[in-house]
Structure 1
Amino acid sequence: MIIIRTLILYIAVLTVMRIMGKREIGQLQPFELVVALMIADLAAIPMQDTGIPLLSGIIPIIILMAAQVALSYISMKSLNARGIICGRPSVVVANGKLVEQELRYLRYNINDLLEQLRAKNYPNLADVEFAILETNGQLSVIPKSQKRALQPVDLQINTKYEGIPLTLIIDGQLNEQNLRKVNLTREWLVIELHKFGIDDFKRVLFASLDTAGQLFYQLKGKPDGGRV
């Protein structure tokens, strides 16, 4: 009985979290974090106490999910509501200077700011033009133009489009949907791999195709890959 209740609650919580959207813990807005914590507590109570009806845990979880989805929709449609629900980003460094009033309002001390700047690879505050504390608590840093990494545009160099390589095979399993995206067929891939003595997809740990048409592959049990 306990096993069945646990599995039902697990599936319910997993379904609810999927409906609520994909977010890392560090990217959750305050109201989203509160909902996630409450859902965890609501699921734990009927899971531990078999005397509590299962619906007593599932119904509040569904209500919280509906409230979270509604708040997310409202915040997406209304800037004013978004400011109330999620808050607004706070500029803590502006034009290379600490914004003392904002730091005091946020109760955000300078040591915490310096720690986060070091984590972003900016150990020297003098290198920072703007630092913005986002609504999810993460710090966004805009360095001074003299301190930013060199970009091809700085040297007036034109670069080619790279795009994202398409995964074709993972652990021996062929992704035919990605093949269709680039107007290629299973037969084409068979011929290309056969050139290298590979006669079975199951032998391939990973294979991908980049936007230049180069095929990368790696066989199972062999760390060295290859390009076609």
Structure 2
Amino acid sequence: MEIYTTIVIRTVLFYVLILVIFRVMGKREIGELSILDLVVFVMIGELAILGIENPKEPSILVAIPMVLLMVIQIILAKISLKSKRFRDLVDGKPTIIINRGKIDEQAMRKQRYNFDDLLTQLREKDIRSIADVEFAILESSGSLSVIERMNNSDGKPKDGDITIPLIIDGNIEEENLTRINKTNLWLRQELKKMGYRDVRKISFCSFENGKFFVDIMDEE
């Protein structure tokens, strides 16, 4: 009887501890979990199970690594906020699967993403035909973001673009500049015309449909 009481108490204890840990780590939807989040969540869950299944093991010996994992995750999350290079290394980058109505088979092969995956995720978004899609972006979380084609009043497809970041956290995204056939020098000259001389002070800059969007870093 004593062992059953111990198991019940430990179950409640670890349940509360996990709630506290997840609350401290922040609210995230399941589909938005990064690889770091997922690894930490799985390890914490496994540790809790081991603690419940081994009632003779002191609870503190299980709680310590759980809290340690929480601290590690918070530290890495802060590094991720300040370093896009670290985010790209851990989470990967979004991949454009359909660009202006054209399927990028090379990008699909690179991501080991097949047509069955594409059609399944399009159906989940109530998209009946690939012909209705202007852009489809495979996010780093594995979800598919879809932008449908827009038509003019005459029924012909309307030209449009997606937001392509050219500067993130003060760093120029050379890969995205290449994607729109522009250069680093072009970007700096255009920004100077608008009065932005120091790229490092720009938190986010994008170029869409011939227009810039620029956001300056907050002063700490």
CA separation in 1, counterparts of 2:110 and 2:93?
13
Task: Choose from 71, 90, 107 the match for 1:66.
Answer: 71
Aligned to 1:50: 55
Task: Choose from 89, 98, 101 the match for 1:93.
Answer: 98
**Taking structure 1 as the reference length, what is the TM-score of the superposition?**
0.62
Once the two structures are overlaid, the 10-residue window that deviates more, 25-34 or 96-105, is 25-34
Amino acid at match of 1:15: V
CA shift digits 1:7-52 (9 cap, x unpaired): 2111111100111111121221122111111110000101111121
Aligned to 2:18: 13
SS of the residue 2:42 aligns to: helix
CA separation in 2, counterparts of 1:116 and 1:9?
36
Amino acid at match of 1:37: V
Task: Choose from 5, 9, 13 the match for 1:4.
Answer: 9
CA shift digits 1:74-121 (9 cap, x unpaired): 111111111112111011111111111110011100111011111112
Task: Choose from 116, 121, 127 the match for 2:126.
Answer: 121
CA separation in 2, counterparts of 1:53 and 1:35?
22
Rg larger in 1 or in 2? 1
Aligned to 2:112: 107
CA separation in 1, counterparts of 2:41 and 2:150?
40
CA separation in 1, counterparts of 2:24 and 2:151?
44
Aligned to 1:194: none
CA shift digits 1:143-163 (9 cap, x unpaired): 11129xxxxxxxxxxxxxxxx
Q: Which consecutive unaligned segments of at least 5 residues does structure 1 have? A: 148-228
Q: Which consecutive unaligned segments of at least 5 residues does structure 2 have? A: 1-5, 153-220
Aligned to 1:39: 44
The alignment status of 1:136 with 2:136, answered yes or no, reads no
SS of the residue 2:147 aligns to: strand
Structure scoring higher RCO (CA < 8 A, sep ≥ 6) equals 2
Q: CA RMSD in A?
A: 1.3
CA separation in 1, counterparts of 2:36 and 2:151?
39
Q: How does 1:178-193 map to 2 (within 5 A)?
A: none
Amino acid at match of 1:133: L
* Runs of 4+ deviating beyond 3 Å: none
CA separation in 2, counterparts of 1:2 and 1:114?
47
Between Structure 1 and Structure 2, how many residues are aligned? 147
SS of the residue 1:122 aligns to: coil
Identity, in percent, stands at: 44
Give 1:70 deviation, angstroms: 1.1
CA separation in 1, counterparts of 2:123 and 2:65?
42
Give 1:3 deviation, angstroms: 2.0
Task: Choose from 63, 78, 98 the match for 2:83.
Answer: 78
The alignment status of 1:25 with 2:33, answered yes or no, reads no
**Taking structure 2 as the reference length, what is the TM-score of the superposition?**
0.64
CA separation in 2, counterparts of 1:143 and 1:60?
47
